[in-house]
A = this chain, B = another copy of it.
Amino acid sequence: MNIAFIGTGNVAWHLTQGLEQVGHQIVSVYSRHPDHAATLCKQLYDAQIKYDLDFTETNADIVLVAVADDALAQVIDSLILPDEIIVAHTSGSKPMQIFEDYPYHCGVFYPLQTFSKQHPLNLSEVPFCIEASSNRIEDILLQLAKSLSDRVYLINSRERSILHIAAVFACNFVNHLFVQSKDILDQAGIDFDILKPLIRETVQKALQTDPKMVQTGPAIRNDRQIIEQHLAYLQKSDVDKRRIYQLLTESILNF
């Protein structure tokens, strides 16, 4: 397929190159900053820098909008699209209905992964969440996703927003617990590296089986003596850690 990209961030960086590797053509790249578009175009076979959002003259079959969430509405507002072109965004948190001006030829093409430009990534293992305004467009987006990845799912906007909430727990909050854990060790002059093999093994076990079945620790054993010891130690540390310890211990006991 011929694809026009809007955006040059981490997602666009990986998707453009990945799509070319499986035989699609990136015809143009637009960015608010034309030099960013130029940098990305250099990575691509024959993509042209696009300086505006008027696609009436393009030979693209699809326009993929891969910009930051808070820029998405404004970019879509500025689009000029002919009826025969498909437009899709790559956002996990914005509904398909954001394309209210293009209700018959829009969709969502959301790769559920964290991307960094420096860090190579195997797109074939990235789950793609697809949603479309019609069966015809759904088929086209599914096919495009399947050309990249073995994990393609039909996910509507409501489900995508629930996935986002679940990801906040399992990724953003988990990372924050790593931050807190490292902070506890830093304050005591202990190297966080000592804990990493245990963390890796714990995460692997949780993901290979059911996390419910492998819960360990003083909370699940209701080991009051250890819990009180830990809370007493955290009292000397900041209040957040103590509150997190208390709430998560309670929550494990409740579950």
Residues of chain A whose beta carbon lies under 8 Å from any beta carbon of chain B: 69-70, 93, 112-114, 116, 119, 121, 125-127, 129, 151, 153, 155, 159, 161-182, 184-185, 188, 190, 192, 194-203, 205-207, 210-212, 214-220, 223, 226, 229-230, 233-234, 240-241, 243-245, 247-248, 250-252, 254-255
Contacts and interface: CB of A to CB of B under 8 A. Distances in A.
A162 B254 CA distance: 25
Contacts of A248: 173, 176, 244
B181 A219 contact: no
Contacts of A205: 114, 116, 119
Contacts of A127: 194-195, 197-198
How many subunits of this chain does the assembly comprise? Answer: 2
A79 to B, nearest CB: 22
A172 to B, nearest CB: 3
A240 B251 contact: yes
Nearest to A207: B196
Nearest to A196: B207
Contact of A181 (B113, B155, B167): B167
B171 A216 contact: yes
Nearest to A205: B114
A47 to B, nearest CB: 27
B197 A125 contact: yes
Nearest to A231: B165
